[in-house]
Chains A and B, each alone.
Chain A
Amino acid sequence: MCGRYALELTTEQVVTALESNGLRIDNVYDAERGLESLNIAPTSYEPVYYKENDEHNLRYMHWGLVPSFAHEVFKFPTHNCKSDSLAHLKPMWRSAKTRRAAVPMQGYYEWHSEGKKKLPYYFKDKDAELLCVLGIWDRNEHVEDSLYSFSIVTTDAGSSIEHVHHRMPCIVRFEDAIEWIDGNWPKVLDLIMSKDDLEFYRVSTAVNKIGSKGQLNEPLKEEEVAQVGDKRQSTMDSFFSPKRIKKE
């Protein structure tokens, strides 16, 4: 499961970073829909590198795959696609056969279970380089005109990080991402692996809440560690919907 990641870069910075890693970008689409954030959650629009009509594009797509055959956005989560589901080409993920992508990110978050508590960790490249994560994309014409969406491919976590969380996104070298996008099915499945020489550390549970901002990917200070996992007071507005009645 990879349910939250960080990419706080402008479109120009993303383009520059991808091009410097050898990715050719012919067009950039829907940049205005994008959200630069250290707390990217499913349903936001994020840059995805993909190929369509022989052109290599960077497009801000909806995180959570909406397959071309769907008539509504699924209620179940589609922001991750397990690599073994891809290998068996389950119907949900059949776009993987022709529509593969690379998703740039500065790092991602996973939650480690300690008893009843789930504590967030941030994973990033040891040299703070941009990570290149395998993805699949699709275009849907039923839900809205040309709804582009993507899902992140996940695999078993490597031995050095599996004690924190047992799954991780497939992180590859950028040149392997080009092969993933341009290569032939099913040979590209051989590319599904992940480097696991990542740096990781505990971060604030502030990242648990979708929409929270700030330097969420910074290591937690020692004195803050003890407070991690504390509960937050909820309000009735989260449970019951308001109906406004004005007195006549």
Chain B
Amino acid sequence: MLEAKLDAASQLKKIVEAIRDMLGECNIECNETGLALQSLDKSHIVLVSLLLGSDGFSEYRCDRGVTLGLNINSLATVLRCANNDDILTLRSEDRANELILTFEDSKADRISEFNLRLMDIDQEYLAIPETEYAATVVMSAAVLQRTLRDLSALSEAVTIEIDKEGIRFSAEGDLGKGSTHFKPCVDMENAENSINITLSEPVSLSFNLQYFSNITKASSLSSTVTLQMTAGMPAQIEYKLPSGHVRYYFAPKIEDDPYA
């Protein structure tokens, strides 16, 4: 069986809110190391990979592997019934067809219990190859979100260029064009405002801004985001959690190579 307790329901609420727009029904795999989810969005442009390590829970027990087939929107709906500082417990018996969510306030004079029906989901998983990315940028998650929101007024696509001078976001549409450039920098007072670039070769890729904006909803989970890119490959965008991560693999816009 699975029994996992979080001291603050807000931790799970934020995670589920960050991924609910992209995912429909998917399986959450639970074992002794924690909870994991891997699922493509409906149009197969973004692959979401979530890992919640058992250390991230105040109490965690999972004797044998359990698969929770869930509708993420239903999960989000139920989680909205929890206050942010409620103690949240997830429970599922072996071979059970439901997930039990319990919300307790800190004084333990209110306990709410919701039972979510589990589904048998035949899900497609993707094998993610080990990739050495040409460029890795660690920057403020809020700054990335703001930059992309600004450019989405101009176009449905953003081009990201990373070289030794920095990282440049640009977009061009009927209105005109715009760009924002960030140089690598170190902010000793506010470390999350630093921009750290590791580069083996310059890289430039274009992405759909609507999907990117959905990805940056995870900005509430972490003060920094790690963006990794290699030419002609999906970008990896990672938000670190206290024990685990929310990771997005994002397919770029490409020009077909006639000789490929």
Chain A interface residues (CB < 8 Å from chain B): 1, 3-4, 77, 109, 111, 116-118, 120, 205, 207-210, 229, 231-247
With contacts A236-B234, A240-B128 taken as known, whether A208 is within 8 angstroms of B47 at the C-beta atoms is no
The docked-state distance in angstroms from the alpha carbon of A232 to that of B251 is 11
In the assembled complex, the CB of B149 is this many whole angstroms from the nearest CB of chain A, namely 20
Q: Given A235-B45, A242-B125, A247-B120, answer yes or no on A208-B255 (Cβ-Cβ < 8 Å).
A: yes
Complexed CA–CA distance, A49 and B72 (Å) = 60
**Knowing A208-B257, A236-B251 touch, does A241 contact B126 (C-beta < 8 A)?**
yes
Chain B residues lying within 8 Å of A209, measured Cβ to Cβ, are 256
Cβ-defined contact, A109 with B258, below 8 A: yes
A229 cross-chain contacts in B, Cβ below 8 A: 255
Q: With A77-B259, A205-B256, A209-B256 in contact, do A236 and B126 touch (Cβ < 8 Å)?
A: yes
Q: Which B residues are CB-close (under 8 A) to A232?
A: 253-256
> Chain B residues in contact with chain A, CB under 8 A?
27, 40, 43-47, 67, 69, 120-129, 157, 206, 208, 233-234, 249, 251-260
Q: Which of A239, A240, A247 sits near B67, CB closer than 8 Å?
A: A247
Main DSSP-derived SS at the A contact region? mixed
Residues in A neighbouring B249, C-beta threshold 8 A: 236, 239-240
Across the interface, which residues of A come within 8 angstroms of B260, CB to CB?
210
Quick one: closest B residue to A1, CB to CB? B259
Contact A234 B122 (CB under 8 A): no
- Sorted nearest first, the 8 A-B pairs with minimum C-beta distance are A208-B256, A231-B253, A240-B126, A235-B44, A234-B251, A208-B258, A209-B256, A234-B254
Q: Which partner residue on chain A sits nearest B256 by CB separation?
A: A208
Asked whether A245 and B254 contact (CB < 8 A) given A233-B45, A235-B43, A240-B129, the answer is: no
Assuming A242-B125, A243-B127, A247-B67, is B251 touching A207 (CB within 8 A)? no
From residue B49, how far is it (CB to closest CB) to chain A in Å? 11
CB pair B126–A120 under 8 Å, yes or no, is no
Measured in the bound complex, the distance between the Cα atoms of B256 and A229 in whole Å is 9
Compute how far the CA of A234 lies from the CA of B234 in the bound complex, rounded to whole angstroms. 9
A104 to chain B, nearest CB (A): 22
Contacts of B123 in A (CB 8 A): 245, 247
CA distance A77 to B69 in the complex (A): 46
B47 contacts A236, C-beta separation under 8 Å? yes
- Apart from A244-B122, A245-B125, what 16 extra A-B contacts exist at CB < 8 Å? A3-B259, A109-B258, A120-B258, A205-B255, A209-B256, A232-B253, A233-B253, A236-B47, A236-B126, A236-B234, A237-B44, A240-B47, A241-B127, A243-B124, A244-B124, A247-B123
Kindly provide the distance from the CB of B229 to the nearest chain A CB, expressed in whole angstroms.
13
Do A247 and B122 touch across chains, with their CB atoms under 8 A apart? yes
Across the interface, do B46 and A236 meet the contact criterion of CB distance under 8 Å? Answer: yes
Closest residue of chain B to A3, judged by CB?
B259
